[in-house]
């Protein structure tokens, strides 16, 4: 795999340089044809498709929502689903967030491991098979999504307009393999205000990340009252971060600032019902099951002005708990404080048979290449395995590796790029024979 090192690294750096944040980070973006999610995402999609086309793959840009590259012939299709969008970079980076710099064997950049690094490794894995003249008995399609970190409008578009694969995997989780993913509920807990509130709040960049900042100020005087920093982490692993919103709510409660009674009620609600609970205990939704474990709860964003307070939450729900039960429990818990549950978005859970030939083939490849017999897992994270049938999450993180997605100084080990390229090459080869 090392013979591709120079061009692979260059390709990844170019892709990382595209700041592919939805709507280019603006709240007032107006979608235009072929660029539904902004210039940055459009540039990243174009970059990936141009790279694949230069290698001799057939490519298609599907109105800017999604794109794919394909090789091979046959009625059956093996798909690899990846995403080119990223969460905002946040603060505190030691190296440029969109620079792709290498330091001490680590390639840094937003998207390095989630999910641009794995995407480029898959592209070159497929190129290596093409270069050796491998005869594909199935079509192999690399599907490049662009809205995985937000609303999955990309997959909605693909599912509605394009051919579905027979089987596939997504390199957007952990090795050896993920066979179950919790349901994901994202929503806003909203308190409407009478309009007299002068205490404004802002915290968090994305609902699916532990917020690393929160600011509270008086709008009339612009006096900054509270400013807290936290530690970012993925929403499915809230214990790995430090929630800045929770810190700010505690501090606001402990100070002697005079605040609007409605806002004071919200602060009481937050500290009593959310606080530092990681599993929804305060809200009565601390469900768990045997296959996937305990529910996780993350307060990811907050926005307050004179008219409302909006708290964005991300909840990972055990696979056996119905969506309706979770929503009903949340609504009952927050209504007594005068809050409403709005903008509800739900991603269904995934649960696959570990004994299937497809899953066993992927596990066999991983174990042969690594010598690692770690058992496959379930998780709270959400991947494109939810988008279509017969898709599982397969890598790219090896057991014991630091998970830096959604965090400052996100990186991927350069050696791991080629190790996962080798695993994916063999996996595609066996599944396409």
Which among 85, 115, 149, 188 is annotated as catalytic? 85
Angle at 31 between CA 30 and CA 35, to 5 degrees: 140
Phi, psi (deg, nearest 5) at residue 222:
65, 20
Contacts for 99 with CB less than 8 Å, ≥ 6 apart:
13, 16, 17, 108, 109
Is residue 148 among the annotated active site residues? yes
Name which of 231, 248, 249 is nearest 240 in CA terms.
Answer: 231
Q: Is 288 among the residues known to form the active site?
A: no
Contact 189, 334 (CB under 8 A): yes
- 278 CB neighbour count, 10 Å cutoff: 16
Question: Is-contact 246 299, C-beta < 8 A?
Answer: yes
Question: Annotated catalytic residue: which of 89, 114, 148, 205?
Answer: 148
Residues with a catalytic annotation lie at 85, 148
């Amino acid at each position: 795999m090392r013979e591709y090192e120079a061009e692979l690294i260059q390709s990844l750096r170019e892709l990382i340089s595209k700041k592919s944040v939805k709507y280019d980070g603006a709240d007032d973006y107006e979608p235009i044809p072929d660029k539904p999610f902004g210039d940055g995402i459009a540039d990243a999609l174009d970059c990936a498709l141009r790279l694949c086309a230069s290698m001799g793959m057939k490519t298609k840009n599907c109105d800017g929502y999604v794109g794919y590259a394909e090789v091979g012939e046959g009625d059956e299709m093996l798909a690899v689903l990846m995403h080119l969008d990223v969460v905002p970079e946040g603060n505190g980076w030691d190296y440029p967030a969109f620079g792709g710099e290498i330091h001490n064997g680590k390639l840094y950049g937003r998207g390095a491991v989630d999910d641009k690094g794995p995407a480029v490794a898959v592209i070159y894995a497929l190129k290596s098979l093409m270069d050796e003249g491998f005869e594909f008995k199935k079509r192999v399609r690399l599907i490049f999504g662009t809205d995985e970190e937000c609303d999955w409008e990309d997959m909605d578009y693909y599912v509605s307009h394009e051919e579905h694969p027979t089987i596939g995997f997504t390199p957007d989780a952990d090795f050896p393999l993920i066979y179950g993913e919790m349901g994901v509920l994202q929503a806003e807990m909203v308190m409407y205000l009478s309009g007299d509130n002068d205490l404004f709040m802002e915290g968090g960049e994305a609902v699916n990340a532990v917020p690393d900042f929160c600011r509270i100020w008086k709008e009339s005087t612009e006096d900054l009252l509270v400013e807290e920093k936290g530690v970012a982490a993925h929403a499915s692993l809230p214990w790995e971060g430090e929630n800045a919103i929770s810190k700010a709510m505690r501090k606001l409660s402990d100070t002697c600032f005079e605040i609007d009674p409605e806002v004071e009620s919200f602060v009481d609600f937050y500290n009593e019902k959310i606080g530092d609970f990681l599993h929804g205990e305060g809200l009565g939704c601390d469900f768990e099951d045997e296959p996937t474990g305990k529910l996780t709860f993350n307060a990811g964003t907050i926005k307050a002005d004179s008219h409302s307070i909006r708290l964005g939450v991300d909840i990972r729900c055990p696979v056996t708990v119905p969506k309706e039960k979770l929503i009903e429990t949340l609504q009952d818990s927050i209504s007594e404080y005068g809050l409403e549950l709005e903008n509800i978005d739900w991603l269904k859970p995934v649960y696959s048979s570990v004994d299937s030939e497809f899953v066993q083939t992927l596990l066999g490849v991983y174990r042969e290449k690594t010598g690692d017999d770690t058992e496959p897992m379930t998780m709270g994270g959400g991947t494109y395995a939810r988008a279509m049938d017969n898709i599982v999450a397969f890598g790219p993180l090896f057991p014991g590796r630091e998970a830096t997605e959604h965090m400052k100084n996100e990186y991927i080990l350069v050696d791991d790029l080629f190790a996962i390229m080798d695993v994916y090459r063999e996996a595609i080869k066996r599944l396409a024979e």
